[in-house]
Amino acid sequence: MAIARGAKVTVGDSGGTRWHGATDRAFQETGIRDYCEALGAEVLSFDKTNPTMVKIPDGRILKEAYLASPAVESGLIINAPKMKTHVLTKTTGSVKNLYGVVPGGLKSVYHKVGGNSVDFASLLVDLYSVLRPGLNVMDGVVGLSGQWRLQDRIYPGVILASTDGVAVDAVAASLFGYNPMKVPTLAEAHRRGLGVADLGEIEISGQPLTPLIKAIAGKTKRLRVPSFGNTVGGWLLGRESPEVDTQICTACGHCPKACPVGAVTVKDGRPVFDLEKCIRCFCCAELCPERAIRPTRGRVGNMIFKR
């Protein structure tokens, strides 16, 4: 549609996987490159671009950031997130999707700066505050929850769109069964006036939410305990930590590269986690190609927290 209106269109991203060429490979294997180039769009890995330093005057965690120049210089950003849950931020959508404008290994640096779920949420909102996409279109035809394995796919069958990315994420969070105002990124963005996360203030056009919530939330793998139980349980049972399933781990050595703080090493062909260094971002689990790493609190903790 943009090309038909005479716009020059660039489709760009920087994937979470840090090895050279990973983003280009994703473009190729998903068919994105062939499809977009056939329509006349440029497809660009932000890992190959020279970043631009952008000031963030109202940033809470970042006062400046290096971002992909094509995104910074564009006349309009159309943000295309996937509908997913997330182990660190509960959900990932329009706000978090803009982390793809951070090129390559800088993601690991910023993950370390935002070393817990609250600070990382604020860091994401810092980036959103300067990028401010003009349109957000979320693919919820097929969604992902849990560990994002094949068996964790869900099928909401919806597309959510708005000029307000926070509102898109709030509706998506509600479909997963979350209170949007309890999702760190959305609560922070709402507090700063960057968008609306309160469902009572969002006009829904199209299918009513209630039947969709009933259909989708019950199939979503997520934390299902109240915040008080989460706090007390974490204190009694210890912090959530990464665990490797040795039956499916292929010893590919990718997890040490994915860890932003160097908390993973490989010994005797298997990952070993330094829990003193670990910041519980779970990039190791998120980016494991075999989904062999998962968050755990041990057998009792997992039963209580319904992992």
The full set of domain ranges for the chain reads 1-47, 49-217, 227-305
Residue 235 has pLDDT above 50, yes or no: no
Residue 57 has pLDDT above 50, yes or no: yes
pLDDT averaged over every residue in the chain: 85
pLDDT at 298: 64
Could you list the beta-strand ranges (E) of the chain: 10-13, 42-45, 51-55, 64-68, 78-79, 82-86, 90-92, 135-144, 153-154, 158-162, 241-244, 264-267, 270-273, 293-296
Binned at pLDDT 50, 70 and 90, residue 238 comes out as low
Q: Is domain 227-305 given the CATH code 3.30.70.2860 in the classification? A: no
Tell me the pLDDT tens digit for each residue of 266-296. Answer: 888 888 988 888 877 777 887 788 888 887 7
pLDDT above 70: percentage of residues in the chain:
88
- Listing DSSP states for 81-118 in one string gives -EEEEETTTEEESHHHHGGGGS-TTHHHHHHHHS-SHH
Of residues 95 and 217, more confidently modeled: 95
pLDDT above 90: percentage of residues in the chain:
47
Tell me the pLDDT tens digit for each residue of 127-150. Answer: 999 999 999 999 999 888 876 677
